[in-house]
A = this chain, B = another copy of it.
């Protein structure tokens, strides 16, 4: 469904499409606390009429309660056993059940409100959400937290299909990519506003990925679902076994030919990143080795604890967390700076806080900005590995893996294998923008 036909639709329903700020919570690193001021969004526009989709998919998160149930399902535990096991770990069964019920009630509220307007609603668990659902829907609602919103957005490739996030547990979830909290319990109000056109479209720039080279398994692993069985993460990524098995069943020349063919062309992945791409070893204790080329510049060997490339939207999420400075560090730098110059300027807490806040705010940029921001996390500089800029803007970043068992993680939720020899090209294209809405609060 494109925009013009949506406009011509009879007044049957509304969907609230809100993108509240840049506070995407990725499972990786959380988010900042500052709201996105609408004035910083240059790429937003007044809609020509109300928004009234016919078919809406509601994608729901997996609650912690559901997760724990599924985790121990194979062991045949009763509810009572589950309760005791959770208690032993210091977790509360009744607490988890309570959050679960809050979420499911809020989902019901959303679904009922939509159906009351005559909208055809399909409720889909996040594990079942796929390209077919995206094609079917005129608009998609994410019912969960920011993590769910990121996953929902990741499969929407068209810049015309609206996506909305509704925070189904505001007390526990930050929900900064979601509706303002009040609409969680008053969803019909939001539907009204959208019907009347009392909102603005906001297109957020996103990242696209090309992968090539040996050892690529382009099958993504959903990190959230895979928590059920953690070694599935490695199993899903285990292309090494696959390429060995293929090689041993073929003649030597066929073997080389087959593998080269299969992996030599760069393939565009069917996923877009709203926040960031993180590249690094899967095992957190292992250093990452890779080569990087920025804007078609020379390749540089690096060793670090990983590499992140983010959008304006994502500049408030993981990227912010790895680049921000604490007041403790800023105070120390200023002290040293002052003593080196021989000056004696009083460094009171207020001053330190102002400098720290200004520094940290400078890490953030607008969601409609066409640039990528790359950050090298904890670079290791020694005889072998040099390091130029630790952070910078670019239009394109290429990375060649020299890792043992690394992954490329999209928005903290989807993981692709990225091992020794693989090359990723990270860039942006206007056609990848995500269509969201700013709803006046």
Contact = CB atoms under 8 A, between A and B. Distances in A.
Interface residues on A, range: 35 or more
A421 B86 CA distance: 10
Count the copies.
2
A378 B286 contact: no
Interface in A77-91: 77, 81, 84-85, 88-91
A240 to B, nearest CB: 8
Given A285-B415, A382-B31, A247 B85 contact: yes
Contacts of A256: 84, 88
A390 interface: yes
A334 B325 CA distance: 13
Contacts of A90: 400, 402, 420-421
A233 interface: yes
Given A321-B380, A326-B379, A286 B88 contact: no
Nearest to A234: B231
A362 to B, nearest CB: 7
A345 interface: yes
Contacts of A230: 234, 282-283, 404-405
Interface stretch (A128-136, A336-344, A428-436): A336-344
A248 B81 CA distance: 9
A244 B404 CA distance: 32
Interface string A272-286: 000000101111111
Given A88-B421, A256-B84, A235 B231 contact: yes
A331 to B, nearest CB: 10
A27 interface: yes
A341 B333 contact: no
A284 B280 CA distance: 8
Contact of A329 (B223, B390, B405): B390
Interface string A231-252: 1011100000100110110001
List 10 A-B pairs, minimum CB-CB distance, nearest first. Answer: A30-B380, A89-B421, A326-B390, A75-B244, A284-B284, A285-B409, A231-B231, A231-B234, A89-B420, A333-B333
Interface of A: 27-31, 33, 72, 75-77, 81, 84-85, 88-91, 174, 214-215, 223, 227, 230-231, 233-235, 241, 244-245, 247-248, 252, 256, 259-260, 278, 280-287, 303, 305-306, 321-323, 325-326, 328-330, 332-334, 336-337, 340-341, 343, 345, 351, 354-355, 358-359, 362, 378-383, 387, 389-391, 400, 402, 404-405, 407, 409, 412, 415, 419-421
